[in-house]
Chains A and B, each alone.
Chain A
Amino acid sequence: MSQNKSVWLHRALLGGAMLLGAGGAVAEYGLNMTQGVTEVSGEVYRLHMLIFYICCAIAVVVFGAMFYSIWKHRKSVGAQAANFHESTTVEIIWTIVPFAILISMAIPATKALINLEDTSDPDMTIKVTGYQWMWHYDYADEGVSFFSRLDEKSNAARQMNSGIDPASVEDYLLNVDNRLVLPAGKKVRFLITANDVIHSWWVPSLGWKKDAIPGYINEAWTKVEQPGVYRGQCAELCGKDHGFMPIVVEVMEQGAYDAWVAAQKATAQNDSPVATVVAAAN
């Protein structure tokens, strides 16, 4: 299916179903899952669309039969009730057919899952730790580590009746003071844990989320080819400021990334930002 056609089709299906009658407005807002920027996120997106279309097809058949029946088999149009109430053949068919559809769905899902969980042979490793309410990133190989928290502007605007219009804040609630920086085209392995309660590290463009659990070290990986800035949020309820611990990932070309690492190391020697952030957090 061509890209255009599939976009058109899902808009028509989603838009048609949403009963808002504002077809034009629909296109402006995020309606669907992102395709993301990794091979994995693309695979997840395609699985999502596949199962969605399967559901649509079943819906057309089932609801079609139901509304046909409501239309034709009404007492008010003189329908007489038949008296059949059993058919083993039919029952067997509508058990087997859905079962077969599900198997055809399970095969690509299994492949995608195995690929998603394959954290072997990474080019580098970053340890991610969730705190109430910020993230800590540790580039073990480089000796670089820092906290990442909601940016000042969002934080001011999100206070109760702050008088600041959220729309006037750039990337409201999706911006941080220190971004997680990754090199493009490298397989990055994440070791994800938490220090206090359970959090969940989620950047939709990467295609997955993984819980950060005290006492556990979960593994996940990504490989982003395209430099850019990708935003996400904590996805597991972690207390009062759960909604206010976003994630920003910046992917850079190798050269720029190396320069960033060098700069981080230099500032780390001058004044330890980690120590000051920890002090500020306490």
Chain B
Amino acid sequence: MSEATTHDAHDHHDHGPAKGLMRWVTTTNHKDIGTLYLLFSLLMFFIGGAMAMVIRAELFEPGMQVVNPHFFNQMTTNHALIMIFGAVMPAFVGLANWLIPMMIGAPDMALPRMNNWSFWILPFAFTMMLSTIFMDGGAPAAGWTIYPPLVLQTGDAFPFMIFAIHMMGISSVMGAINVIATILNMRAPGMTLMKMPLFVWTWLITAYLLIAVMPVLAGAVTMLLTDKYFGTSFFTAAGGGDPVMYQHIFWFFGHPEVYILILPAFGIVSQIIPTFARKPLFGYSSMVYASASIAFLSFIVWAHHMFTVGMPVAGELFFMYATMLIAVPTGVKVFNWVSTMWKGSMTFETPMLFALGFVVLFTIGGFSGLMLAIAPSDFQYHDTYFVVAHFHYVLVTGAIFAIMGAAYYWLPKWTGHMYNETLGKWHFWLSTITVNILFFPQHFLGLAGMPRRIPDYSVQFAEFNMISSIGGFAFGLSQLLFAYIVISTIRGGAKATDKVWDGAEGLEWTLSSPPPYHSFSEAPEVK
């Protein structure tokens, strides 16, 4: 490919990074930017996690002890926004930056300057977002879904929140454009679309989803802004507007968004399992088609978040059927992963443990999703802890377990050092046990009738809340071990081989560990 072969001629003769802090500020290198994204994501994971600890502390027992109800709502709102936009999405973009060029045989991302910009927007966006906690009226407290009219009661924080969301959206869209441009233009000769690793495929699809829906979110929050400050009434009934229209627009963004948060995880798991089963991925092409169908269906199921708003029965039926349908391609993926393990020769290093944990626990989240799809039952489940349990199974033991698995899997490649396997296994088992103590009882709480987003509850819910909080504190503490393992692996450790895992397949494993600053200056030949 011409970019790759002419690359040297264009180069600035520096084949290593600049020195000092400016290396990170001005970098256009996909690996440096990937590292920035991943470290930023880790930081946000701990900030969002600290908010979760406040939530679980208040819910430890009945009565109000730790924070007042308004601050509690600020915590739930910001916890979710930070985890979704600050932890999970940047982690995936960081992985895309590191891995896509190495997996498709390219020297770097297609648009390196934009890449720098899309990262450096984020620290400013989140600083602004977090600073709202100190403003008059506090941080936004209307839930991450920021429904009007409630969100219009936000104090000084309101325009800052909207601006922060715009910046996050711009960053995501630029990241997505970069991914698409890289994948479509920079593949090594012979790397046809249907030979691309699944991680690349799922990211390509995710990038299209991002470009399609982030502007929708931007439109929705801009309408909120004009409703509050410029006298419009898009969502205000008294002025002829419609508060339910906001929900339709938000969830038209929101449901594809939840797949943005899981498709790259599907890709990661599809890389890890074949390596440790020492057997090629079962049903590669059906995995690609399943991802594409999930992406398509994700645009026509949004109102399953709104079964209780009073839609016409025909509408409720349509969204119920479409949502049930999405379980089919999701199921196909799980069946393919299990078949990949079948008759393999499996070993259980930490990345594989996280991938297996993902398959089991994500599937449990899928089951509760299927239950939520049944509209009449959702009239009971909706806005209870059952929903909270559902989305934490798919997001924590789904998206975040996959991200952690990815970190263990590729860290030796990135740093040139092996992580400590014993500690990694400890981290996995501690996380898996505590995360279930944290979230499994929340199914029971929801079924027994505990609404979500409440700071205090009736005493019948006391036992399971206490169990859940204990699990929460323990899960939070276990993650310090993860930070320790990552940092100590960056600093040193046993030398990693180029291939790292004996079952690993793919171009990234043909590079040295750590790989050269510019991944493939010569395009590799793909058979």
**Which chain A residues have a beta carbon within 8 Å of chain B's beta carbons?**
14, 17-20, 25, 29-34, 43-44, 47-48, 51-52, 55, 58-59, 62-63, 65-66, 69-70, 73-76, 79-87, 90-91, 94-95, 98-99, 102, 105-106, 109-110, 112-114, 116-117, 157-162, 164-167, 171-174, 196-198, 200, 202, 204, 207-211, 213-216, 218-219, 232-244
The 8 Å CB contact of B384, one of A29, A235, A240, is A235
Q: Which residues of B contact A25 (CB under 8 A)?
A: 463
Complex contact B325–A102 (CB within 8 A): yes
Q: Which residues of A contact B331 (CB under 8 A)?
A: 58, 94, 98
Determine whether B376 belongs to the interface, using a CB cutoff of 8 Å to chain A.
yes
Query: Which 8 A-B pairs rank lowest in CB-CB distance, beginning with the nearest?
Result: A215-B237, A30-B448, A243-B454, A218-B310, A55-B367, A208-B379, A166-B62, A82-B343
Q: Which residues of A contact B335 (CB under 8 A)?
A: 62, 94
Stretch at the interface among B7-15, B296-304, B390-398, B439-447: B439-447
The 8 Å CB contact of B380, one of A29, A30, A44, A84, is A44
Q: Which residues of B contact A59 (CB under 8 A)?
A: 363-364, 367
Nearest CB to that of B460 among chain A residues?
Answer: A30
Determine whether B317 belongs to the interface, using a CB cutoff of 8 Å to chain A.
yes
Give the interface SS of chain B, mostly helix, strand, loop or mixed: helix
Q: Which residues of A contact B370 (CB under 8 A)?
A: 51, 55
Complex contact B279–A81 (CB within 8 A): yes
Determine whether B184 belongs to the interface, using a CB cutoff of 8 Å to chain A.
no
Determine whether B515 belongs to the interface, using a CB cutoff of 8 Å to chain A.
no
Tally of contacts, chain A with chain B, CB under 8 A:
292
Determine whether B64 belongs to the interface, using a CB cutoff of 8 Å to chain A.
yes
Complex contact A31–B444 (CB within 8 A): yes
Q: Which residues of B contact A90 (CB under 8 A)?
A: 339
**A202 to B386 CA separation, bound complex (whole angstroms):** 15
Q: Which residues of B contact A80 (CB under 8 A)?
A: 345
Complex contact B282–A171 (CB within 8 A): no
Q: Which residues of A contact B122 (CB under 8 A)?
A: none
Stretch at the interface among B45-53, B87-95, B106-114, B238-246: B238-246
Complex contact A237–B453 (CB within 8 A): yes
Nearest CB to that of B138 among chain A residues?
Answer: A240
Complex contact B448–A214 (CB within 8 A): no
- With both chains docked as a complex, state the minimum distance between the C-beta of A94 and any C-beta of chain B, in angstroms: 5
Given contacts A82-B343, A159-B64, contact A215 B242 (CB under 8 A): yes
Find the residue from B70, B377, B382, B433 having the highest chain A CB count within 10 A.
B377
**A166 to B456 CA separation, bound complex (whole angstroms):** 10
Complex contact A66–B338 (CB within 8 A): yes
Q: Which residues of B contact A110 (CB under 8 A)?
A: 317, 320
27 contacts between A and B (CB under 8 A): A19-B437, A33-B377, A33-B380, A34-B449, A48-B371, A55-B370, A66-B356, A69-B346, A73-B277, A83-B279, A85-B279, A114-B313, A158-B64, A162-B63, A164-B63, A165-B63, A173-B458, A200-B383, A209-B308, A215-B237, A216-B237, A233-B454, A237-B453, A238-B150, A239-B73, A240-B69, A243-B456
**A79 to B324 CA separation, bound complex (whole angstroms):** 38
**A234 to B281 CA separation, bound complex (whole angstroms):** 48
- With both chains docked as a complex, state the minimum distance between the C-beta of A39 and any C-beta of chain B, in angstroms: 12
Task: Give the residues from 299 to 339 in chain B that come closer than 8 angstroms, CB to CB, to chain A.
Answer: 308-310, 313, 316-317, 320-321, 324-325, 327-328, 331-332, 334-335, 338-339
**A173 to B456 CA separation, bound complex (whole angstroms):** 8
